[in-house]
Amino acid sequence: MADWNDPAWQLRNRIQALEQLETRLRLTPEERAGTILAGKKLALGITPHFFNLIDRDDPDCPIRRQVLPRIEESVTNPDELVDPCGEDSHMPVPGLVHRYPDRVLLLVTDRCASYCRYCTRSRVVSGAGEQELSVDLEGAYGYLEKHPEVRDVLLSGGDPLLLSDSKLDSILSRLRKIPSIEFVRIGSRIPIFLPQRITPALVGMLKKHHPLFLSIHANHPKELTAEVRTGLERLADAGIPLGNQSVLLRGVNDRAEILKELFHKLLLCRVRPYYLYQCDLITGSAHLRTTIREGQELMEQLRGHTTGYAVPTYVVDGPGGGGKIPIGPGYIVGMADDRVILKNYRGDVYEYPEIGQPNPADIRR
Ligand SMILES: *Cc1c(COP(=O)(O)O)cnc(C)c1O
């Protein structure tokens, strides 16, 4: 299987058309109608590697739900948005989102190896939607040089690891020339969608730019295949700290046992679960969304019940541009000047007295 292991072969042989899907599995009417519609919204695209994880006999397969379009995508709730995180209004330079005081998001490409149906950036990603992503890299470098308060740059897109080694090397090298930038990270689902891309050459290039962190995106334990584990091992061995950002999705990972298995498996791959996102209010995603209360209940079944490293922070990206807001659940039951009432993971109540600073008269010299 020389071809299968070649990332270029995987990309060339992506499933991108209804006919390719229909020769490989029996679509439900909802999927068939959704796939016809996808050309106008967010393209259909699935690498053979990821497609292979689909259980062909199970229309509710959690892998399938993430990447096969469904007709429900055409249903727009009035509270859903095309740009749910309000990114377009926070771009001082095309492609550069500056929302927080000391860090920025730099969108370097509009393409991914496969397309997640709940993509928060579907308005600009994949080339199918109405908007086009414009990126002004030179403008972004100039902006960062004039804004030394920015010490952290997050490369995203699209998927930055879809760029060639040399293109990515040139972006990272240019960022590293800006003295105020301390910290660079890449957000990528390539380690999951296209693990063949995590070559020794890529990893050798990335490690020249330390400290460099990488956030991957895995949602279900089935995604952590042998090939994926090999890629992650390469990255971790190169000293690249790895985090994971999952999206909580109805029918994919909205059960505590599944999340726990996912987070445990990630730790075995030396990946620290970083964030669990409440599904953004992107148009046509209601069928994949849970309530925040359900999310909190799931988090309650993790915190304290398993390794702290396996418990990500549950966040919602404030609709319209509020940034990431942790949504608990909270463990503080009550607060007064002299005490805080807490509950632990079992629900038992504890009191933490706030005893104040020592009185100088009480200090024996
Ligand atoms: C998520 C995000 C960041 C990074 O946030 P962290 O909490 O530091 O991981 C930065 N800028 C934007 C616009 C973001 O959406």
Residues with Cβ within 8 Å of 330's Cβ and at least 6 positions away in sequence, in order, are none
Q: 90 CA distance to ligand 1 centroid (A)?
A: 12
- 3-class DSSP state for residue 103? strand
Whether residue 250 lies in the annotated active site: no
**Domain map of the chain by residue range?**
2-73, 88-326, 332-364
Closest atom of ligand 1 to 85 CA is 15
Q: 326 CA distance to ligand 1 centroid (A)?
A: 13
Q: How large is the greatest C-alpha to C-alpha distance in the chain, in angstroms? A: 85
Considering only CA atoms, which of 314, 323, 191, 343 is closest in space to residue 254? 314
C-beta 250 within 6 A of ligand 1: no
pLDDT tens digits, residue range 264-315? 999 999 999 999 999 999 999 999 999 999 999 999 999 999 999 999 999 9
pLDDT tens digits, residue range 160-219? 999 999 999 999 999 999 999 999 999 999 999 999 999 999 999 999 999 999 999 999
Rounded to the nearest 10 degrees, the angle between the axes of helix 137-146 and helix 165-176 is 20
Q: 352 CA distance to ligand 1 centroid (A)?
A: 33
Whether residue 348 lies in the annotated active site: no
What would the CATH number be for the domain defined by 88-326?
3.20.20.70
Which residue has its alpha carbon closest to ligand 1 atom 6?
Answer: 324
Of 55, 58, 60, 100, which is the active-site residue? 100
Tell me the β-bridge partners of 349: 343
Which residue has its alpha carbon closest to ligand 1 atom 1?
Answer: 324
Whether residue 279 lies in the annotated active site: no
pLDDT tens digits, residue range 43-95? 999 999 999 999 999 999 999 999 999 999 999 999 999 999 999 999 999 99
- Which pLDDT belongs to residue 200? 98
Whether residue 40 lies in the annotated active site: no
- Which pLDDT belongs to residue 12? 97
